[in-house]
Amino acid sequence: MAKHLDLEEQEQIDQIKHFWAQYGNLISWVLIVVFGSFAAWNGWNYWQRTQGLKAAALYDEVDRAALAKDAERMERALADMQSNFGGTTYASQAALLAGKTLFEAGQVDKARAALTWAADKSSDASYKATARLRLAALDIEAKAFDQALKTLDASVPKPFEPLVADRRGDVFMAQGKADKARTQYTNAWKALGERSEYRRLVEVKLAALGVDVSSLTPPATAP
């Protein structure tokens, strides 16, 4: 009986040896790939966290400089962020903050440069749209109306569409094209939610053009 078991064990060992000789290299490579991928994933996550922390620190520097109204210091921090962490949302936020701060400081060209970077380079469509809205406002102030309309032509996320329509209305109003402005403000008003505070602002603009917004609301249908 013992001899019979020894023969079975030897046969199983021989089968294992044969299997390993045939598939051992393949199994080894699969394990290398699996564990290598796992290590790479962990490394990537660590790198991402590290980049995020560094970008956050630079954004904090931009924010402090903005509060101190130190334009030179803010520009240096923003340049470092754009160069090293341009793909992060912190870079987009910093560019928008710098654009606002520089504009308030009367440095319109530098404000435009910061906003243009956000409009062209931001990794987030919402930040791009916000930058374009602010650039269009600068264009209106500079009476560059054609450029403003061109800036607003770019595709934006749906929630921004009524804001773009409102800004187009501002362009047409500045040009003295009341009919076109009325159309754009009406589009914006209809697209904004009933509880939107921004809708109240659009209502004021429509009222200035002689539009009663109650006439824009469809009558309730009977059940």
pLDDT in tens, 151-189: 999 999 999 999 999 999 999 999 999 999 999 999 999
Specify the pLDDT at position 173.
Answer: 94
The residues, ordered by sequence, that sit 6+ positions from 108 with a Cβ below 8 Å of its Cβ are 102, 138, 142
d(CA 101, CA 63): 10
Place of tokens 């996550």: 45
Q: Are 78 and 98 in contact (CB under 8 A)?
A: yes
**Both tokens assigned to 97:** 């903050």
DSSP class of residue 221 equals: P
d(CA 171, CA 164): 11
DSSP class of residue 105 equals: T
Q: pTM score, two decimals? A: 0.73
Look at the domain 144-212 and name its fold.
Answer: 1.25.40
